[in-house]
Structure 1
Amino acid sequence: MRPPLRIAVLECDTPLPNIDARYGGYAGVFTSLLKESAKALDGPDKLDPESDLVISKWDIVNGEEYPKLEDIDAVLLTGSKHNSFEDIPWILRLVEFTQQVLAQDRVRILGICFGHQIIGRAMGAKVGRSDQGWEIAVCDMDLTDKGKELFGRDKIRIQQMHQDIVSTCPQGVTLLGHSPRCAIQGMYLPRRFISVQGHPEFTGWMETEIIQTRAKAGIFKEEMAQDGLSRTDNEHDGVSIGTTFLKFLLEE
């Protein structure tokens, strides 16, 4: 019998108050996604969402403690409002830890948005501001041949919330997809990691909360905010992306 899948969620930020109150941090947000994704699995990959997923949360922004690799099977790096390219202590610690995980061959990594960029940085790729500006709300991600194979479709629709990007795919890493505003939308290294620039974990309600908050703060201009809000509730493939993540973690 296969033991439970032990996933350490490294919380790289705290959600907005309304989201935090509903889910209990980004670990709660991802627990919701992964449980829904587990329900969609069948056949040999089938997981009981309640007993086969053991998800722990680690506040790596305010604390310095990281999980021991022998105690987990996977690490999930969340999104963040912080800049992945900054040389501040907690981000430097995260990059170093990511390099340690990549250097071994058992524990695997899932990277989302900021986490996707941290993986790129840990592998020597340049990360920084996009000259295309923000990409927000539900957008199409065109897939490469490997992306189509892994995600089981020709393109995926995914919630976006970023202005930073990975500029080049690290050596030996496979590009999974791209969009008009972002050339590196996903990366893959067999039995090591899979990452996406978008947010499969975001619901339309979460995305709306973020866009409205950032519009009120003057981060988003009215026209951009309204364009994003018009697409937050569009159908997207978050749960399907989550099932791909779980299959990747279960692959022998």
Structure 2
Amino acid sequence: MDVKLIALDMDGTLLTKDETISELNRKRIAEALANDVRVVLCTGRWYESCLSYAQLLQLDSYLITCNGGEIQTVDNNLIERHLLQPERVRMMWELCNWLDVNTWMVSTDNLWQEEGATDFSKHDWLKFGCDSLDTDKLNHIISELSHYDDLELTNSLPTNIEVNPKGVSKASALERVCHELGITMQHVLAMGDSLNDMKMIQAAGIGVAVGNAQKAIRQAADYVTDTNEQDGVGKAIETFVL
């Protein structure tokens, strides 16, 4: 497989539990870049929270953030953006608040944690998230939100729910990036650990799960590498790229 682009989830995949990038991972990413392979961070995080990692790795192309809700270049040129309807965000926040479930929301101008906006209509909303150790509460939220056909539900941990506009995913964003670069998804090596990585792992030419990935991701992947704490990303690059 001629890999021309490596798409990397961040939390639980590229990053260790203390949110750092291991020496081996950095080294293998640098070697891939030196071999003209693009490396794209493909994350549920928002732009500002992953830009410093892209700069540390000396990445010079695209950042896929908010589970595909935005595509930007590392120099802050917006390529694509998908927004949730403000009334949907307000509804989800009220539901979670009623259930006493932790929430976070990403707008184009702010990160909201727990507190809702005074006026939801005054903001452009990229992603909604909630988390709880109470699976009954999470299942209730999923059941309620499943009635809305304009929402895309996924997770980045078994204990959370993340919501984007329908059709938005890391895979759909990667397809746009591939179009921009003049390549196809068959030339992509994608790595992740959670359900928000599922579609890109399935769509990529090579889909890789880290060893600590959720069971469904390990089963869907073409290959399972080591864990995020044991240089899984770097070892997969050694196997398929270098």
Is the pair's TM-score, using the shorter chain for normalization, greater than 0.5? Answer: no
Q: TM-score under structure 2 normalisation?
A: 0.34
